[in-house]
Amino acid sequence: MKLLVNPSPEKWRKQLARPVQKSKEINKIVKPILKKVERTGDKALIKFAQEYDHVSLEQLIVSAAEIEAASKLVSDDLKEAIHTAQANIEKFHAAQASEELILEVMPGVTCKRKSVPIQRVGLYVPGGTAPLFSTVLMLGVPARLAGCREIVLCTPPNREGKIHPAILYTANRIGITKIIKVGGAQAVAALTFGTTSVPKVDKIFGPGNQYVTAAKQLATKYGVAIDMPAGPSEVLVYADESAVPAFVASDLLSQAEHGVDSQVVLVTPSEKFAKKVLKEINTQLEELSRKDIAFKALQNSTAVVMEDSSAAIDLINDYAPEHLIIAVENEEETVNAIYNAGSVFIGNYTPESAGDYASGTNHTLPTYGYARNYSGVSLDSFVKKMTYQKITPEGLKLLGPAVEIMAANEQLDAHKNAVTIRLNYLKENKK
């Protein structure tokens, strides 16, 4: 990790800049994949599985027998951990449900707003270097709670054509049985256009590599919504001398091991503390099974000494991290000053990995600075807010004149007439 001491905003913005996404080059690869899947459906998916996942598939849909067999391959300890996580995620997301709003805004004019589930959703769960069965919970639980009618899960198979048993077990436990063996941009394409095996959906959720991200953004041009733009995973830890250096180092490494393009940042008022953390990182790194990945991620990462707490807060809000860990003495004041972050972890005993798995919050979060204008996935992500209105004759008499005047001033005569014709009718038929 690089070490910066009291840098100017210009310097730290340059040093903390995310890796540039080569969108043009990536789209040149992804666009033909989408077109091929749109034209030839399952045939293209099987071809791409051979080409990219090095597996020959006869069937794309996971069978009931495969799902049943997976349960026997998951240890009791892992099952219990999944059950704990599921319970917490369900509690927190169920509490997010909003009551139907009904309000008479003026006599005879009633407005209503309620949540309606998105009917068909596609969940993308990466396989890659780590089978993210936790993502099945993070996406599947709120989709079920929201009442989505059709939930389709896509995840890449291994070279034997199998899905990790923990992914299948978790999906089946929360009631998702439509599971497709397809990954990458081609999975997004299948959910966008539909194939014989993969239903077309209304909205696509889930993290993925740069090709999956590019495919999701292209999918929006075909009338499909996505959860959010996303990039490599990231964490920023803001810690002072009240924090434990070993804890901070472990949090930075937990994010660095996600991938070589992950970015981790330490912000601290003390250079001495920063050096203690860097020393701990080097010690803990050697014990990691994915230390080569973490080591490469650390090359793109930075420790920033900011003696001025106000400047440190400015840096954090400007960077807008996906995950933000706050381990400082004046934590309440600091937390209240943050307005750009995907999810915030407060105190020495709140590791980011708790949110990744089992605390109850969602780990599908905006990256690459999108925390400035996007929220993480929640129950609201799986519903639409529809509004309704009902006006009585008396209500139209009260409201109508205002509508007529506004429509006339916008020179929309038909809009005005839609009210006038009704008001005239009421006058003519007055009892």
Distance CA(28)–CA(31), nearest Å, equals: 6
pLDDT at 431: 59
Residue 236 included in any domain? yes
* Co-location of 142 and 51 in the same domain: yes
Secondary structure string (H, E, C) spanning the chain: CEEEECCCHHHHHHHCCCCCCCHHHHHHHHHHHHHHHHHHCHHHHHHHHHHHCCCCCCCCECCHHHHHHHHHHCCHHHHHHHHHHHHHHHHHHHCCCCCCEEEEEECCEEEEEEEEECCEEEEECCCCCCCCHHHHHHHHHHHHHHCCCEEEEEECCCCCCCCCHHHHHHHHHCCCCCEEECCHHHHHHHHHHCCCCCCCCCEEECCCCHHHHHHHHHHHHHCCEECCCCCCCEEEEEECCCCCHHHHHHHHHHHHCCCCCCEEEEEECCHHHHHHHHHHHHHHHCCCCCHHHHHHHHHCCEEEECCCHHHHHHHHHHHCCCEEEEECCCHHHHHHCCCCCCEEEECCCCCHHHHHHCCCCCCCCCCCCHHHCCCCCCHHHHEEEEEEEEECHHHHHHHHHHHHHHHHHCCCHHHHHHHHHHHHHHHHCCC
* Co-location of 219 and 236 in the same domain: no
- The burial class, CB within 10 Å (0-12 / 13-18 / 19+), for 414 is exposed
Q: Specify the number of domains making up the chain.
A: 3
* Co-location of 257 and 208 in the same domain: no
* Co-location of 260 and 121 in the same domain: no
- In the set 323, 332, 333, 428, the catalytic residue is 323
Residue 17 included in any domain? no
Q: What's the CATH code of the domain at 56?
A: 3.40.50.1980
- Catalytic (active site) residue 323: yes
Residue 185 included in any domain? yes
Q: Which amino acid type is present at position 75?
A: S
* Co-location of 163 and 283 in the same domain: no
pLDDT at 21: 67
* Co-location of 58 and 201 in the same domain: yes
Residue 132 included in any domain? yes
pLDDT at 232: 82
- Catalytic (active site) residue 322: yes
* Co-location of 296 and 350 in the same domain: yes
Residue 129 included in any domain? yes
Q: What's the CATH code of the domain at 401?
A: 1.20.5.1300
301 known ligand binder: no
Residue 384 included in any domain? no
* Co-location of 64 and 121 in the same domain: yes
pLDDT at 229: 83
In order along its 431 residues, the chain shows pLDDT tens digits of 999 999 999 999 999 988 776 778 899 999 999 999 999 999 999 999 999 989 999 999 999 999 999 999 999 999 999 999 999 999 999 999 999 999 999 999 999 999 999 999 999 998 866 788 999 999 999 999 999 999 999 999 999 999 999 999 999 999 999 999 999 999 999 999 999 999 999 999 998 888 999 999 999 999 999 999 877 889 999 999 999 999 999 999 999 998 888 899 999 999 999 999 999 999 999 999 999 999 999 998 999 999 999 999 999 999 999 999 999 999 999 999 999 999 999 999 999 999 999 999 999 999 999 999 999 999 999 999 999 999 999 999 999 999 999 999 999 999 999 999 999 999 999 85
Token couple for 216:
């999701």
258 known ligand binder: yes
217 known ligand binder: no
415 known ligand binder: yes
**Residue where a domain stops, chosen among 188, 204, 226:** 226
Q: Which range of residues forms the domain containing residue 143? A: 23-100+115-226
pLDDT at 300: 85
First to last CA, the chain: 83
100 known ligand binder: no
* Co-location of 40 and 162 in the same domain: yes
186 known ligand binder: yes
Spatial neighbors of 225 by CB under 8 A, at least 6 apart, are 118, 202, 203, 204
**Residue where a domain stops, chosen among 226, 255, 284:** 226
124 known ligand binder: yes
**Residue where a domain stops, chosen among 201, 226, 251:** 226
- In the set 322, 331, 352, 394, the catalytic residue is 322
83 known ligand binder: no
* Co-location of 31 and 166 in the same domain: yes
CA distances from 96 to 225, 330, 340, 352 (A): 21, 29, 21, 22
* Co-location of 191 and 45 in the same domain: yes
* Co-location of 91 and 173 in the same domain: yes
Token couple for 159:
């070279």
Residue 108 included in any domain? no
Residue 173 included in any domain? yes
